[in-house]
Amino acid sequence: MMKFILRSATMASVLALGVAGAQAADLTYEPAPVAVPEVFNWTGFYIGVHGGIGGGNIDSQFRYYDPEVPGDGYNFSDNAFGAFGGVQAGYNWQFNTNWVVGLETDFAASGIEAKHSVDYSDGYSESNETKVDWFGTIRGRLGYAWDNVLFYGTGGAAYGKVKVSGSYDGDGSGSYSDSDTNWGWTAGAGVEYGITKNVTLKAEYLYVDLGSVTADAGDDFGGSFKSDVAFHTLKAGLNYKF
């Protein structure tokens, strides 16, 4: 009887193991799905804000109206410096996997200015100032993207309002002031980083040339001043991409 019970238990164990093995063989192994990281896409419209500093040498000339005055005038050069801030908008199109082409326009209020002052030995003093009240650009951009990092070059047209003014004290006093809105050109480069798929941060350098601005100083000075307005800018910006 004991042998019969042992044989029955053994056979039951073998059958149980066989059934379990058959069920395990029927199971198909499926690995857990792996999340594929989303590749950043630069295509789309964007708007943003920016701020920075600008400066450089402003070359100016004074020319007398009276041809009989000894010498035709004098030249001087002064360092311009100041902060600026404004807004921008544009569109990017990413093509051929990594290349990005775009168009951007911006506008900024400016405090960039150059001042020139002279105190003469006879008590006569003179001061002149060239100030960029505001400026903007319309530029193309071409860059290469490594996922959410974009390196680019940029260039196009620039425009801005420049004010030239001055005053003197001595044997009497006088002043002048004139302003003009000029068109010129700009070129530079930058890098932009995608913080999220909709928010990007950029740093950008631009050289801006607004040409020359001439101010009639009238009878008080007896001539006219001309300033060649060109300066460097370095700015940071924040964009929202739609």
> In this predicted structure, what is the pLDDT of residue 8?
47
**What's residue 22's pLDDT?**
46
pLDDT attached to residue 211: 95
Share of the chain above pLDDT 90, in %: 61
* pLDDT higher than threshold 60 for residue 15: no
pLDDT band, very low/low/confident/very high, at 42 (cuts 50, 70, 90): very high
DSSP for the chain reads: -HHHHHHHHHHHHHHHHHHHHHHHHH----PPPPPPPPPP---EEEEEEEEEEEEEEEEEEEEES-TTSSSSEEEEEEEEEEEEEEEEEEEEEEETTTEEEEEEEEEEEEEEEEEEEEE-TTS-EEEEEEEEEEEEEEEEEEEEEETTEEEEEEEEEEEEEEEEEEEEEESEEEEEEEEEEEEEEEEEEEEEEESSSSEEEEEEEEEEEEEEEEEE-HHHHTEEEEEEEEEEEEEEEEEEE-
pLDDT average, residue stretch 83-95:
98
- Say which CATH architecture domain 44-117+125-241 belongs to: Beta Barrel (2.40)
Q: Which tens digit of pLDDT belongs to each residue from 127-140?
A: 889 999 999 999 99
Residue 162 has pLDDT above 90, yes or no: yes
Domains of the chain by residue range: 44-117+125-241
**Is the pTM for the entire model greater than 0.85?**
no
